[in-house]
């Protein structure tokens, strides 16, 4: 469904074109659909928006933007017939995120207004309308998709039997794993990081340059190259703890130690405008010694030996000794935190974990490995991993991959229903497209037939 819904998002998810293609033209109506008009300025607005967000140019993008807008209008007209309404809170949240991305990319409200040639309140009104329409469009697509008949085992069997074997979904190799984890002495490492920042803060207060110390000591490599400077950005771009501390500082002031999931920071605000700020920071991450590693590895080696030589099972050892709470409760079984699935494809496995399991046979337990957990951007953790099962890559079959095939067949039928809706509406709706788009390679032939001769 995500792919289906994305197809009608106005050009907010589109790329951009060379902005000079239609330079020199005054604004004009370039398409009429039903009782609604689409102007050239609407298309140029989308081009500018996507360029501001850093997307690359594409020579057919204005054509794609026009087609997306036309397609969206078809869904909107039907959404009004169906009396659909949008969720105002969701729209406001999406709008806020969109504006923050633009403001951060361009460097502040004044830069946004200069770039688009409009006051921010006017842009907010226009973007609000777009997100409202996008919400209604998505809802209407969902309504169309919901009307397809329920998928039955017969539908899936028919799909498998009639599809070319080369077109059947290929199920990638999947791995099921369990783990026993040990954290290093986190409190000691945190204390050392805070003491280091306290020392650096005293040096700054005594007259040394924040930027110089950031270059020398910050664990944020990219910002360290710029003397710790992060650039003007919305406060929503950072961890809340970081933003709250920065917004409470006066320009030039240096914060006390601030903890975020990335580590510990000193912050110095360079500039503030509304809810945006530019700041320098020095990041110190908790670090661990070889003694921490050796101690954890020795403990894990002992647990592995107990499992190998006694009646203690891996599951029981995980419940008793593992320090990773999510997997501990399941006897160490690892699961994708996003989906809950116990099966991982290679790209979903942490690189450090993959280095030790790639040579294991099912049932074997790895040597200790240094890896990361799933908190924040990943905290250091030591673990042993048991490879529980390997499901080799194979073309999907009715007997073993019913759920995957169900999703595939459902998706195909949803696409068919939505395509049928669009084609039907194009044929029966009054649509006129300006000849300036006559060279467009539209994805549907029906649009080209609507170009004014």
Q: Do the Cβ atoms of 253 and 272 come closer than 8 Å?
A: no
Q: Classify 276 as helix, strand or coil.
A: strand
- Per-residue confidence band for 192, with pLDDT thresholds at 50, 70 and 90: very high
Q: Is residue 303 pLDDT above 70, yes or no?
A: yes
* C-alpha torsion 350→356→175→170, nearest 10: 80
In the block, tokens 């593992």 appear at 322
Strand ranges (E), 40-86: none
CATH class, range 2-151+408-448: mainly alpha
Are both 174-184+288-394 and 187-284 of the same fold? yes
Show me where the domains of the chain are located: 2-151+408-448, 174-184+288-394, 187-284
CATH fold of 187-284, please? Answer: Chitinase A; domain 3 (3.10.50)
Residue 17 has pLDDT above 50, yes or no: no
Give the pLDDT score at 58. Answer: 63
Mean predicted confidence (pLDDT) in 104-127? 88
pLDDT average, residue stretch 73-92: 91
What is the reported pLDDT for 47? Answer: 83
- pLDDT for 209 equals 95
Q: Please report which confidence band the pLDDT of residue 227 belongs to, taking 50, 70 and 90 as the band edges.
A: very high
DSSP 209-254: -HHHHHHHH-S-HHHHTTTTB--SEEGGGS-HHHHHHHHHSPTT-B
* Percent with pLDDT over 90 in the chain: 62
CB count in 10 Å sphere of residue 242: 23
Q: Is the pLDDT of residue 254 over 70?
A: yes
pLDDT at 308 over 70: yes
pLDDT for the residue 275: 86
The Cα 260–Cα 242 span in angstroms is: 7
What burial letters (b/e) apply to 167-183, b meaning 16+ CB within 10 Å? ebeebeebbbbbbbbbb
- Exposure string of 193-208, with b = 16+ CB inside 10 Å and e = fewer, is bbebbeebbeebeeee
Mean pLDDT, the chain, integer: 88
Give tens-digit pLDDT for 45-81: 888 877 776 776 566 788 888 999 999 999 999 999 9
Task: Say how far residue 279 (Cα) sits from the centre of its chain.
Answer: 25
Give the residue-averaged pLDDT of 85-91. Answer: 88
Q: Which fold has domain 174-184+288-394?
A: Chitinase A; domain 3 (3.10.50)
Q: Residue 49: what pLDDT? A: 78
Mean pLDDT of 175-187: 93
Q: What is the pLDDT of residues 386-431, one digit of tens each?
A: 999 999 999 898 988 898 899 899 999 999 999 999 999 999 999 9
Instruction: Specify the pLDDT at position 51.
Output: 76
**337-378 residue pLDDT tens:** 878 889 999 999 999 999 999 999 999 999 999 999 887 677
Q: Is 152 helix (H, G, I), strand (E, B) or coil?
A: coil
Q: What are phi and psi of 443, to 5 degrees?
A: -75, -20
Quote the Cα angle for 10-16-19, to 5°. Answer: 120
Query: What proportion of the chain, given as a percentage, has pLDDT over 70?
Result: 93
pLDDT at 35: 86
> Residue 19's pLDDT band (boundaries 50, 70, 90)?
very low
Count CB neighbours of 150 within 10 A: 6
Averaged pLDDT for residues 318-329: 94
Q: Cα–Cα–Cα angle for 296, 298, 303, nearest 5°?
A: 95
More confident residue, 5 or 439: 439
The pLDDT assigned to 287 comes to: 86
pLDDT given at position 26 = 62
pLDDT at position 16 = 30
| Residues paired with 431 in a beta bridge | 33
Task: Check: CB of residue 438 under 8 Å from CB of residue 424.
Answer: no
Residue 275 phi/psi, 5-degree rounding, is -100, 25
């Amino acid at each position: 469904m995500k792919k289906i819904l994305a197809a009608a998002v106005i050009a907010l998810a589109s790329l951009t074109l060379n902005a000079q293609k239609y330079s020199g033209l005054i604004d004009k109506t370039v398409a009429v659909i039903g009782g609604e008009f689409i102007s050239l300025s609407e298309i140029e607005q989308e081009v500018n928006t996507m360029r501001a967000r850093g997307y690359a140019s594409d020579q057919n993008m204005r054509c794609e933007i026009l087609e997306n807008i036309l397609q969206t209008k078809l869904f909107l007209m039907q959404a009004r017939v169906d009396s659909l309404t949008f969720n105002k809170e969701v729209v406001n949240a999406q709008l806020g995120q969109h504006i923050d991305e633009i403001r951060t990319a361009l460097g502040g409200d004044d830069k946004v207004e200069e770039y688009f040639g409009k006051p921010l309140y006017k842009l907010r009104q226009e973007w609000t309308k777009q997100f409202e329409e996008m919400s209604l469009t998505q809802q209407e697509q969902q309504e169309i998709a919901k009307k397809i008949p329920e998928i039955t085992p017969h539908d899936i069997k028919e799909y498998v039997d009639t599809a070319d074997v080369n077109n059947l979904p290929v199920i990638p190799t999947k791995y099921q794993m369990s783990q026993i984890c040990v954290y290093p002495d986190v409190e000691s490492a945190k204390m050392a990081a805070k003491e280091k920042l306290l020392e650096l803060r005293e040096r700054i207060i005594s007259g040394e340059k924040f930027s110089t110390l950031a270059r020398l000591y910050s664990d944020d490599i990219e910002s360290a190259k710029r003397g710790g400077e992060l650039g003007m950005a919305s406060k929503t771009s950072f961890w809340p703890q970081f933003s709250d501390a920065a917004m409470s500082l006066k320009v030039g002031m240096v914060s006390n130690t601030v903890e975020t999931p990335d580590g510990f920071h000193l912050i110095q605000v360079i500039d503030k405008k509304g809810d945006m700020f530019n700041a320098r920071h020095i990041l110190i991450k908790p670090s661990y010694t070889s003694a921490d590693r050796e101690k954890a590895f020795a403990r894990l080696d002992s647990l592995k030996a107990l499992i190998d030589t006694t009646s203690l099972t891996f599951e029981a050892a995980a419940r008793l000794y593992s320090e990773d709470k999510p997997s501990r409760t399941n006897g160490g079984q690892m699961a994708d935190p996003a989906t809950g699935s116990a099966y991982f494809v290679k790209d979903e496995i942490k690189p450090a974990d993959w280095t030790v399991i790639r040579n294991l046979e099912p049932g074997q337990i790895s040597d200790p490995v240094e890896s990361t957990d799933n908190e924040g951007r990943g905290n250091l953790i030591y673990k042993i991993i048991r490879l529980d099962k390997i499901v080799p890559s194979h073309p999907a079959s009715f007997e073993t991959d019913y759920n995957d095939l169900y999703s595939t067949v459902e998706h195909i039928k949803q696409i068919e229903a939505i395509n049928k809706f669009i084609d039907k509406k194009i044929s029966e709706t009054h649509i006129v497209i300006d000849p300036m788009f006559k060279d467009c390679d539209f994805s549907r032939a029906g649009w080209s037939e609507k170009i004014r001769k």
